[in-house]
């Protein structure tokens, strides 16, 4: 369905998968906040108008309505942008979705700086952290279209709330359709011995690019796709760092509270080793082309590479 290397926004895969699921399961309902054409939930709405509810530009209302619908036994998908679901409707998510642990799957487009030229108002760079601190919440960002499809399907079988973040812009397909995905289980994409790169979402393909360049420079990096940051796959981290002794985390998010924090917290308590976090550092981004933003805000392939060199250097000092 999706070809390796093709650049596909993961929101597209979300819309396609919703329709696929809708055909198999009539208990799936979808709520949208007037951006269905953009989040791609409209594809579902076209085929299943009776199960598709457009609540208008009112994300708090959308989230609380979804919670009520879920209490009637439905599998409820909520579509909007990541900034609005995680911040405008944050309290509805926390108190009426997470606290009663209802089956609401919050699938949101425009994660990180992927709505690049839209600017800061539409770039969600704090959402993973906000969602990760909510008890019982499951927090996911798939790396490509294939894993999006698999993880959205898995979400329908998962008991309780999920926050699943998508990209506006295209990201390369890195998985073939044989790969199997489990919520809460990271994927070991490349084996290595010198350093572990743990990445999430749109940054996974950047981590792979960085690995290719590093290998030519004599550093063999292990690459993990940590598509679920909560619950965190601790065993895949431990297995890898026992071998490599150093970590670079890469996320399209503030370095606080997201993937870098989750990994640091775990390793700090269990297996302290040198670590470097790649992500936004106490700054908002701005409008601009995605690749240029990554460069300006030090989240590019080059930054991942220099992060790896830093950690490798610190490992040596430690010895």
Partner 1 sequence: MVDTINKNLVSFLEEKATELRINILKMIHAAQSGHPGGALSAAEIITTLYCHEMRINLDNQRDPDRDRFILSKGHACPVLYSVLAMKGFFPIEELATLRKINSRLQGHPDMKKTPGVDFTTGSLGNGLSIGIGMALMGKLDKKDFRVYVMLGCGELDEGIVWEAFMAGTKFKLDNLVVIIDYNKLQLDGDNDEVMPLEPIVDKLEAFNWNVIRTNGHDFNQIIKAFAKARETHNKPTVIVADTIKGKGVSFMENKVDWHGLAPDDEQLKIALEEIRGS
Point out which residues bind partner 1 (CB under 8 A).
29, 50-51, 53, 55-56, 58, 60-61, 63-74, 91-92, 95-96, 99-101
Candidates 277, 297, 279; CA nearest to 287 is 297
| Three-state secondary-structure class, residue 62 | helix
Show the beta-strand stretches assigned E in the chain.
Answer: 7-9, 28-32, 52-54, 75-81, 104-109, 138-140, 162-165, 170-172, 187-190, 195-199, 221-225, 228-230, 247-254, 275-280
Measured from the Cβ of residue 242, the count of other Cβ atoms closer than 10 Å reads: 11
Nearest in space to 227 (alpha carbons), one of 276, 195, 255, 262:
262
Q: How far is the CB of 153 from partner 1 (least distance, A)?
A: 22
Distance of CA 292 to the CA centre of its chain: 21
**Which residue blocks in 106-233 are alpha helix, DSSP H?**
127-132, 145-157, 203-216
Minimum Å gap between C-beta 33 and partner 1 is 10
Based on CB atoms, which residue is closest to partner 1, 48 or 284? 48
Nearest approach in angstroms of CB 53 to partner 1 is 6
Which one, 71 or 306, has the nearer CB to partner 1? 71
Between residues 69 and 200, which has the closer beta carbon with respect to partner 1? 69
CA 263/CA 304 separation, integer angstroms: 16
Contact between 208 and 201 under an 8 Å Cβ cutoff? The reply is: no
Please, which residue, 92 or 123, has the CB nearer to partner 1? 92
Enumerate the active-site residues.
59
H/E run at residue 303: helix 301-318
> At its nearest, how many Å lie between partner 1 and the CB of residue 88?
10
Write down the least CB distance from residue 21 to partner 1, Å.
17
Closest to 55 measured CA to CA, from 85, 27, 83, 25: 85
Q: How far apart are CB 167 and partner 1 at their closest, in Å?
A: 28
Query: Which residue number, 34 or 209, has a Cβ lying nearer to partner 1?
Result: 34
Query: By C-beta, is 31 or 297 nearer to partner 1?
Result: 31
**Spatial distance between the Cα atoms of 302 and 184, rounded to a whole number of angstroms:** 29
d(CA 22, CA 43): 11
Question: 291 Cβ partners below 8 Å, 6+ apart?
Answer: 300
**How far apart are alpha carbons 251 and 204 in whole angstroms?**
8
């Amino acid at each position: 369905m999706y070809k390796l290397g093709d650049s596909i926004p993961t929101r597209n895969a979300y819309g396609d998968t919703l329709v696929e699921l809708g055909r198999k399961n009539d208990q799936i309902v979808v709520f949208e906040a007037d951006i269905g054409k953009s989040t791609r939930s409209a594809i579902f709405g076209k085929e299943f108008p009776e199960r598709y509810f457009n609540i208008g530009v009112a994300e708090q209302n959308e989230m609380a309505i979804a919670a009520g619908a879920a209490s009637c036994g439905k599998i409820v998908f909520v579509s909007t942008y990541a900034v609005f679901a995680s911040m405008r409707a944050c309290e509805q998510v926390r108190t009426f979705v997470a606290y009663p642990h209802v089956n609401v799957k919050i699938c949101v487009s425009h994660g990180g700086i992927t709505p690049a030229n839209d600017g800061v108002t539409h770039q969600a760079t704090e959402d993973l952290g906000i969602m990760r601190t909510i008890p019982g919440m499951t927090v996911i960002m798939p790396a490509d279209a294939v894993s999006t499809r698999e993880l959205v399907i898995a979400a329908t079988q998962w008991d309780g709330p999920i926050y699943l973040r998508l990209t506006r812009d295209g990201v390369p397909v890195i998985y073939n359709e044989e790969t199997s995905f489990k919520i809460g289980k990271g994927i070991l994409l490349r084996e290595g011995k010198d350093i572990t790169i743990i990445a999430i979402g749109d940054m996974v393909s950047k981590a792979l690019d960085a690995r290719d360049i590093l290998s030519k420079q004599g550093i063999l990096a292990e690459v993990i796709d940590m598509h679920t940051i909560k619950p965190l796959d601790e065993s895949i981290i431990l297995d890898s760092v026992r071998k490599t002794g150093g970590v670079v985390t890469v996320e399209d998010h503030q370095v606080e509270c997201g993937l870098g924090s989750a990994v640091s917290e775990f390793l700090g308590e269990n297996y302290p080793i040198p670590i470097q976090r790649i992500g936004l550092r106490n700054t908002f981004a701005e409008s601009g082309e995605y690749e240029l933003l990554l460069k300006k805000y030090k989240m590019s392939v080059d930054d991942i590479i220099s992060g790896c060199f830093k950690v490798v250097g610190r490992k040596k000092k430690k010895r």
